[in-house]
């Protein structure tokens, strides 16, 4: 894609509504919102979000300033996300929004893995949540998405040794969004935290790609061990509402755990498990790889 084509794309994301100013873009490849032109050239997700925001603003004049401030005045997804998260987590006079925005933006700018993952998360919400009509709605209103992006920033800080700051972000996210993810937890891309209230994820948890986690899920320890003590969740897993998985147990790829289940043992790949304690009710032996089919499970609530 040429510079001029990408410029036209970004320009189109800011000029179709007369009441909204266009986003700036530099044809010489200089930084825009902290990212180079090469990082912006294939950002179809951001163009889609801006177009969806513009459509909503045109259909509902009440929302025009709201969408302009949170989406349409920003040149990049990273810029908009940093500002949006900072405004939610800020504490007046104690933890100013501008300082949080700078912190979040600095991490997003230097970590391409986070930038890729957050776009995968947005696509996951649009593709797997029947209630998500637009990626813009996920970006603006889905606290599961927002909590997950704060965690991604906190995890980067944790791995850099900035643990006090990482714990601050965890604490504020828990207070504001009712989602408690330890910054040490490792979480893959394309993850959907649906509804999200009451989700708790422990320090040594590992969550794979394309996982869907509903409200009230706990990925915790048993209280009887230290060290590596939390669950390992494979790719393509669905964890139904209220599921509790305790201890360093592995949940195989493509598995579905029914709502309210309590899991204390390893669950093989491509299996459905339900109950307290959880028992296996179905296993598809012949599949290879993971197939993300989360909306077909009866315990998926929207």
pLDDT tens, residue order, the chain (302 aa): 333 434 444 454 444 333 333 333 333 333 444 455 444 445 899 999 999 999 999 999 999 999 999 999 999 999 999 999 999 999 988 999 999 999 999 999 999 999 999 999 999 999 999 999 999 999 999 999 999 999 999 999 999 999 999 999 999 999 999 999 999 999 999 999 999 999 999 999 999 999 999 999 999 999 877 899 999 999 999 999 999 999 999 999 999 999 999 999 999 999 999 999 999 987 765 454 555 666 544 444 44
Residue 18 is predicted with a pLDDT of 36
Is the previous residue joined to 277 through a cis bond, with omega within 30 degrees of 0?
yes
Long-range contacts of 11-14 (CB under 8 A, 24+ apart): 12/47, 12/51, 13/46, 13/47, 13/50, 13/51, 13/54, 13/72, 14/50, 14/72
Q: Is 20 exposed, middle or buried (0-12, 13-18, 19+ CB in 10 A)?
A: buried
pTM (2 d.p.): 0.83
Residue 282 is predicted with a pLDDT of 76
């Amino acid at each position: 894609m040429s510079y001029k084509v990408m410029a036209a794309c970004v320009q189109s994301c800011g000029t179709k509504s007369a009441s909204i100013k266009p986003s700036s873009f530099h044809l010489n490849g200089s930084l825009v919102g902290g990212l180079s032109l090469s990082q912006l050239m294939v950002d179809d997700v951001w163009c889609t979000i801006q177009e969806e925001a513009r459509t909503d603003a045109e259909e509902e004049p009440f929302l025009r300033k709201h969408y302009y401030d949170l989406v349409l005045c920003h040149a990049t997804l990273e810029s908009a996300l940093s500002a949006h998260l900072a405004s939610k987590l800020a504490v007046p006079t104690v933890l100013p929004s501008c300082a949080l925005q700078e912190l979040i933006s600095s991490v997003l700018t230097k970590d391409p893995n986070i930038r890729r993952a957050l776009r995968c998360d947005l696509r996951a919400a649009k593709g797997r949540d029947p209630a998500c009509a637009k990626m813009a709605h996920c970006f603006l209103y889905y606290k599961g998405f927002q909590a997950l992006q704060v965690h991604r920033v906190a995890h980067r800080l944790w791995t850099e040794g900035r643990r006090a700051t990482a714990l601050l972000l965890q604490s504020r996210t828990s207070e504001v969004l009712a989602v408690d993810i330890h910054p040490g937890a490792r979480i893959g891309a394309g993850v959907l935290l649906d509804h999200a209230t009451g989700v708790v994820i422990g320090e040594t948890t590992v969550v794979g790609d394309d996982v869907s986690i509903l409200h009230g899920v706990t990925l915790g320890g048993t209280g009887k061990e230290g060290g590596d003590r939390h669950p390992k969740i494979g790719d393509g897993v669905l964890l139904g509402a209220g599921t509790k998985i305790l201890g360093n147990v592995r949940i195989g790829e493509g598995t579905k755990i029914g709502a309210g289940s309590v899991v204390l043992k390893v669950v093989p790949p491509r299996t459905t498990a339900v109950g307290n304690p959880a028992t296996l009710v179905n296993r598809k032996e012949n599949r290879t790889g993971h197939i993300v089919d989360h909306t077909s499970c009866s315990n998926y609530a929207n």
